[in-house]
Amino acid sequence: AAGVIQSPRHLIKEKRETATLKCYPIPRHDTVYWYQQGPGQDPQFLISFYEKMQSDKGSIPDRFSAQQFSDYHSELNMSSLELGDSALYFCASSLWNSDYEQYFGPGTRLTVT
Amino acid sequence: SQQGEEDPQALSIQEGENATMNCSYKTSINNLQWYRQNSGRGLVHLILIRSNEREKHSGRLRVTLDTSKKSSSLLITASRAADTASYFCATDADTSGSRLTFGEGTQLTVNP
């Protein structure tokens, strides 16, 4: 069965640079979520989209923005990167109003040097 | 912010034994989901239990939910070395708009 696809899998950036992470949800899933997991931490919710509209917002820095496109894929844009942004970034997808069973992608490991 | 806590934080058992992990949470929920994560890798969805359910089974997994105590447990029977991973519970609070709030996780080690 098709899973959530994330790209790139690994990304190394320098401070103050920008990064774009991409997420392709499971086919027919209409809701996308982004989570950040720091080293040794549990995942923290950043933001979610349903039918291309932001549906919920968590602890996402103002330096980050995200959107969902007409084909339901989503991109997380991160600017003015800081050392503390180094983390695993997960995308998850679900069907709206289906118990919101969320399936996660393999994650993008971002390292900021 | 932490929705809940997991107990124990680390668990080491022998292959063939059962492993029980507990999760507590703070708010009313729509459902509770359990995930497995191998070191530094993706989160694998294990099972979802709705707030109106008390017990659910999937293969070697058994999940219970006690909404009066705001707690859940995950039992893995007949454990295998391949079960070695971190296990997280995650709640979908009924006021959260479907975001998941994760517990701190239990690191399970199954020794061959």
The residue extents of the domains of chain B are 4-111
Suggest the residue from B30, B45, B99, B106 to mutate for an interface test with chain A (most A CBs closer than 10 A). B99
Residues from chain B contacting residue A31 (CB–CB below 8 Å): 98
Out of B42, B92, B99, closest to residue A104 by CB: B42
B43 and A43 within 8 Å at the Cβ level: the answer is yes
Q: Compute the mean pLDDT over every residue in chain B, rounded to the nearest whole number.
A: 91
Question: Nearest to residue A33, comparing CAs of B101, B68, B107, B36?
Answer: B101
Out of A31, A96, A104, closest to residue B43 by CB: A104
B48 and A31 within 8 Å at the Cβ level: the answer is no
Q: Does B97 touch chain A (CB under 8 A)?
A: yes
Pairing, β A31-37 against β A53-57: unpaired
Q: Is the pLDDT of residue B65 over 70?
A: yes
DSSP assignment of A41-77: ---EEEEEEETTEEEEE-S--TTEEEEE-TTS-EEEE
B99 and A58 within 8 Å at the Cβ level: the answer is yes
Q: Which residues, in sequence order, are CB contacts of A68 under 8 Å at separation 6+? A: A32, A49, A51, A52, A53, A74
SS3 B83: helix
Which residues are registered as beta bridge partners of A21?
Answer: A76
Residues from chain A contacting residue B48 (CB–CB below 8 Å): 99, 101
Out of B33, B88, B101, closest to residue A101 by CB: B33
Q: What are the two backbone dihedrals, phi and then psi, of residue B82, each rounded to the nearest 5 degrees?
A: -70, -10
Q: What pLDDT score does B7 carry? A: 81
Q: What are the residue boundaries of the structural domains of chain A, listed by start?
A: 5-112
Q: What is the pLDDT of residues B9-64, one digit of tens each?
A: 999 999 999 999 999 999 889 899 999 999 878 899 999 999 999 999 999 999 99
d(CA A30, CA A52): 8
Q: What pLDDT score does B2 carry? A: 44
CB A25 within 8 A of CB A75: no
For the domain B4-111, what is the CATH superfamily, name and number? Immunoglobulins (2.60.40.10)
Q: What pLDDT score does B94 carry? A: 67
For the domain A5-112, what is the CATH superfamily, name and number? Immunoglobulins (2.60.40.10)
Q: What is the pLDDT of residues A74-109, one digit of tens each?
A: 999 999 999 999 999 999 999 877 677 899 999 999
Region A12-24 average pLDDT: 98
* Chain B nearest-CA residue for A103: B45
CB A48 within 8 A of CB A33: yes
Q: What pLDDT score does B98 carry? A: 78
**pLDDT tier for residue B1 given thresholds of 50, 70 and 90:** very low
Rg of chain A taking only CA atoms, in angstroms: 13
